[in-house]
Amino acid sequence: MAEESLPLTSFASTVDAILDRHRHDGTRLMQILRETQEALGWLPPEVLTHIAAGIGWPRAKVAATAGFYSFFHTEPRGRYRVLWSDNITDRMLGNLDLMQSMCQKLWLEPGRVSEDGLVSVDTTSCTGMCDQGPAILVNYRAITRMTPERVDAIVELIRNETPLAAWPAEFFRIEDNIRRKGPLLDHGLMPGEALAAALARGAEGMLAEIKAANLRGRGGAGFATGLKWESCRNAPGEAHYVVCNADEGEPGTFKDRVLLTSYADLVFEGMTLAGLVVGAKKGLLYLRGEYRYLLEPLEAVLSRRRADKLLGRDILDRGFAFDIEIHLGAGAYICGEESALIESLEGKPGRPRIRPPFPVTHGYLGQPTTVNNVETLAAACLIAKHGGAWYAGLGTPKSAGTKILSVSGDCARPGIYEYPFGVTVGQILLDAGAGERTQGVQVSGPSGVTVSREEFHRRIAFEDIPTAGAFMIFDCRRDMFDMARNFAHFFAHESCGFCTPCRVGTSLVRNLMDKIAAGHGSPYDINELFKLHRLMKEASHCGLGSTACNAVFDTLNKFRPAYEKRLKSLDYVPAFDLDAALSQARQMTGRDDAAAHLSTGAHP
């Protein structure tokens, strides 16, 4: 890793070995860049030129990819790169004070590299460790449960230039924190058992069971999995692909981390089942860069499954061929969007594609591709074993099965909880040991729903509150404005910049929230926030922009005093200027329908 990086003068042989290992294949560019950076410490201009020649791509295209992802560095960084996870739950656990203390001890400003090039310290978006924060990444290895004592110890290790491999193993211990198991987390299946059941049913039989199960995507949108697999299966193409979206980037979500740590067989087996149904020979698991530490263990599971004939050319001696590759992301939240993820898999910047066409017909390399969430694929194994009717009997009429929640924030028992769909927010709070003083819950992360006390009877289900899994709890010591402001900063940082409403809108929202936080806000600014919410919801190119203001909008409606106490005056709230907003939406998008949607919105 970087603290043992090679001198740049010898880069050619190192990079050539990496290029050879990846067959000089441009679609492997993300992995080539990552491995090169791990060897050299950063990605110097001459190295990008060398890689471009090696894969036969224009240099500008390679530089565009290297420049897009926050975990790739085209300028020198410290040999030790410390990134503090900066989700709101990390803040609630005191991450900023700890980071400040670390910087003082290292004589360093956040975001700067020390003069001797030894160390840099900065913040990053949520690292998926909210149940055991505050968390940091050191050279992209996760360390959780940071305390003042751990800060002191790490400062010493860095000062002494101790290689990461010699740091106390305890620092890198990551807990599963499984608090409540249901049929999925308590599945009892042996590796290959679900696959054997699926092969016995055949591809069409398995598809019929998935449809009968009413399985819906667990990434939040809830699209019918059977329909997706059927569309992919029926689409013409030279090859079909299965992609597992393990880019779990929504702040507050960490259930895929646990599935990939302790249920990897189930996930890979679900991918194999999907391959059987859609007619794919290849699967790709896209693992978020923050989970770099899982790469080797997951590769070991794949090797074992190949040895056991659960992957490969002749799975279970049934003449079915399927194998899986792992691609590691590099710190871009937008790659959780399926078309952006596919772009990234192809070695490009993760910008969402214009749709249609959809990935089921034109996905990875332009071929039919099904992209499914980790949890969805794991659930498919249960259906293979127990049948669609059994699965459809769990949960609610429109939300079959169970949902795994990542619970964090102000509660006694943060961790992973599996419930049948339909569980109330109040029940989860009770189970997690959240006290009477709970004032709100953010369900499904910054792009989700802010639930107030009056709504704790509401249910986790597609009929009521859909979720990708995050469940962040806030008691009355917390300021819900701070939460919304943290999320506004998150979206401004993560916007890919492709479309104007999101690129400009997220920055404007962040600036307005900062202005209000500084005590310079006015009712006019509140009105501007409402306006931006609607514009971005209707005119953004993808879900990031259209949901980026959700938490601001919800907290404005449900926790208005948190804003009002910061305003200079409450005298006059100007009327929302709908005509101006409509005209702005038309100008931004050139779409009349954007304006039409806008006009139907309800202003509080």
CB of 47 or CB of 499, closer to ligand SF4: 499
The distance of closest approach from Cβ of residue 536 to ligand SF4 in the complex, given in angstroms and rounded to an integer, is 8
> CA-based angle 426:427:431, to the nearest 5?
120
User: Which residue is listed with tokens 């009770």?
Assistant: 430
CB of 152 or CB of 593, closer to ligand SF4: 593
- Tokens representing 293 are 């530490």
What Å distances lie between residue 588 and 493, 500, 507, 529, 531, CA to CA?
21, 7, 16, 17, 14
The distance of closest approach from Cβ of residue 90 to ligand SF4 in the complex, given in angstroms and rounded to an integer, is 23
CB of 458 or CB of 503, closer to ligand SF4: 503
Is residue 481 within 8 Å of 563, Cβ to Cβ? yes
Is residue 537 within 8 Å of 549, Cβ to Cβ? yes
Edge to edge, the sheet with strand 438-443 lists 178-180, 415-420, 402-409, 470-475, 438-443, 449-452
CB of 499 or CB of 535, closer to ligand SF4: 499
Amino acid identity, position 577: D
Is residue 536 within 8 Å of 546, Cβ to Cβ? yes
DSSP codes, 403-416: EEEEEEESSSS-EE
CB of 42 or CB of 491, closer to ligand SF4: 491
From candidates 195, 246, 542, 562, binder to ligand SF4 by CB under 6 A: 542
**Which SS3 state, helix, strand or coil, does residue 496 take?**
coil
CB of 453 or CB of 503, closer to ligand SF4: 503
Range in contact with ligand SF4 (rule: CB under 6 A) among 204-212, 279-287, 472-480, 534-542:
534-542
Integer Cα distance of 44 and 63 in angstroms: 10
The distance of closest approach from Cβ of residue 162 to ligand SF4 in the complex, given in angstroms and rounded to an integer, is 39
Contact letters for ligand SF4, residues 443-482 (x by CB under 6 A): ----------------------------------------
User: Which residue is listed with tokens 């690292």?
Assistant: 127
Q: Cα Rg for the chain, rounded, in angstroms?
A: 24
Integer Cα distance of 412 and 257 in angstroms: 21
The distance of closest approach from Cβ of residue 92 to ligand SF4 in the complex, given in angstroms and rounded to an integer, is 27
Which residues in 287-306 contact ligand SF4 (CB under 6 A)? none
**Which SS3 state, helix, strand or coil, does residue 82 take?**
strand
Which residues in 318-357 contact ligand SF4 (CB under 6 A)? 334, 352
Q: Is position 549 an interface residue for ligand SF4 (rule: CB under 6 A)?
A: no
From candidates 540, 547, 550, 584, binder to ligand SF4 by CB under 6 A: 540
CB of 363 or CB of 368, closer to ligand SF4: 363
The distance of closest approach from Cβ of residue 499 to ligand SF4 in the complex, given in angstroms and rounded to an integer, is 3
Which residues in 197-236 contact ligand SF4 (CB under 6 A)? none
Q: What is the total count of residues that contact ligand SF4 (CB under 6 A)?
A: 14
CB of 32 or CB of 492, closer to ligand SF4: 492
From candidates 139, 545, 562, 584, binder to ligand SF4 by CB under 6 A: 545
Q: In which element (H, E) is residue 302 found?
A: helix 295-307
Integer Cα distance of 15 and 18 in angstroms: 5
What Å distances lie between residue 465 and 87, 192, 400, 422, 424, CA to CA?
22, 34, 14, 9, 10
Integer Cα distance of 562 and 40 in angstroms: 48
Integer Cα distance of 530 and 550 in angstroms: 10
CB of 535 or CB of 542, closer to ligand SF4: 542
Range in contact with ligand SF4 (rule: CB under 6 A) among 72-80, 109-117, 508-516, 535-543:
535-543
Name the residue among 253, 285, 151 with its Cα closest to residue 469: 253
What Å distances lie between residue 359 and 272, 281, 329, CA to CA?
18, 17, 19
The distance of closest approach from Cβ of residue 3 to ligand SF4 in the complex, given in angstroms and rounded to an integer, is 34
The distance of closest approach from Cβ of residue 74 to ligand SF4 in the complex, given in angstroms and rounded to an integer, is 21
CB of 329 or CB of 422, closer to ligand SF4: 329
Integer Cα distance of 244 and 242 in angstroms: 7
The distance of closest approach from Cβ of residue 84 to ligand SF4 in the complex, given in angstroms and rounded to an integer, is 24
Strands in 399-527 per DSSP E: 399-400, 402-409, 415-420, 438-443, 449-452, 470-475
CB of 446 or CB of 545, closer to ligand SF4: 545
The distance of closest approach from Cβ of residue 545 to ligand SF4 in the complex, given in angstroms and rounded to an integer, is 3
The distance of closest approach from Cβ of residue 335 to ligand SF4 in the complex, given in angstroms and rounded to an integer, is 10
From candidates 216, 282, 385, 541, binder to ligand SF4 by CB under 6 A: 541
- Tokens representing 379 are 């659930």
CB of 272 or CB of 540, closer to ligand SF4: 540
CB of 2 or CB of 492, closer to ligand SF4: 492
Range in contact with ligand SF4 (rule: CB under 6 A) among 214-222, 257-265, 541-549, 569-577:
541-549
Which residues in 485-504 contact ligand SF4 (CB under 6 A)? 495-499, 502-503
User: Which residue is listed with tokens 């898999």?
Assistant: 345
What does the binding site for ligand SF4 look like in residue numbers (CB under 6 A)? 334, 352, 495-499, 502-503, 540-542, 544-545
